[in-house]
Amino acid sequence: MNKKILIVNGPNLNLLGQREDNIYGKETLEHIKTACQNKSKLIDFDIDFFQSNNEGEIINKIHEVEKFYDGLIINPAAYTHSSIAILDSLRAISKPKIEVHLSNIYSREEYRKKSITSEGVNGLICGFGSNSYILAIEAISKLIYK
């Protein structure tokens, strides 16, 4: 049976390809989903891909990880810098967790340089555009199979 990972995407990521392509690139979230599915097949992983603009929906989805998944990849988007609630839900999970960002949050505005949510994950990958997700899939596979 394949291992199963959840990829959670936060607010406004549904607008990828339409907004600030100088920061986030021109690829849509659907393109990123397809790339993640293709990568996951190569390493015998199944993925569920989820996006919400609602903090509560994201938290509820994270709560499912312990019971139904072997790991979590999350791009909390703007909640990265403000959501203690998402941090708390991440801390409640014992499964491997990786945070991803399309842009390098440390080279952006001062308020984006602090990731509250990264305190609840195993690691953070940022600044590689959509490839951040692919790198996260590779990294989480190492954590799951270690």
pLDDT computed for residue 146 by the predictor? 75
Q: Which residues are catalytic?
A: 24, 101
pLDDT, tens digit (0-9, with 9 covering 90-100), for 15-59: 888 776 666 667 899 999 999 999 999 999 999 999 999 999 999
The backbone torsions φ and ψ at residue 45, rounded to the nearest 5 degrees and listed phi first, read: -110, 145
What's the domain range around 30? Answer: 3-144
More reliable by pLDDT, 24 or 133:
133
Neighbour count for residue 52 (Cβ, 10 Å) = 17
pLDDT computed for residue 114 by the predictor? 80
Dihedral sign for Cα atoms in the order 141, 78, 130, 14: positive
Query: Is the pLDDT confidence value at 135 over 80?
Result: yes
Query: Is the pLDDT confidence value at 113 over 70?
Result: no
Residue type, 3: K
pLDDT computed for residue 59 by the predictor? 98
- Number of domains composing the chain: 1
Q: Which of 20-29, 57-66, 75-84, 91-100 has the lowest average pLDDT?
A: 20-29
pLDDT computed for residue 144 by the predictor? 94
CA–CA separation, 83 and 21 (whole Å):
25
What is the pLDDT averaged over residues 53-70? 97
Contact indicator for 85, 55 with CB cutoff of 8 Å: yes
CATH of the domain at 49: 3.40.50.9100
pLDDT computed for residue 103 by the predictor? 82
Take residue 116 and report the two structure tokens written for it. Answer: 């509250």
CA–CA separation, 90 and 97 (whole Å):
8
Region of residue 98 (phi > 0: left; psi between -120 and 50: alpha; otherwise: beta): beta
Query: Is the pLDDT confidence value at 92 over 70?
Result: yes
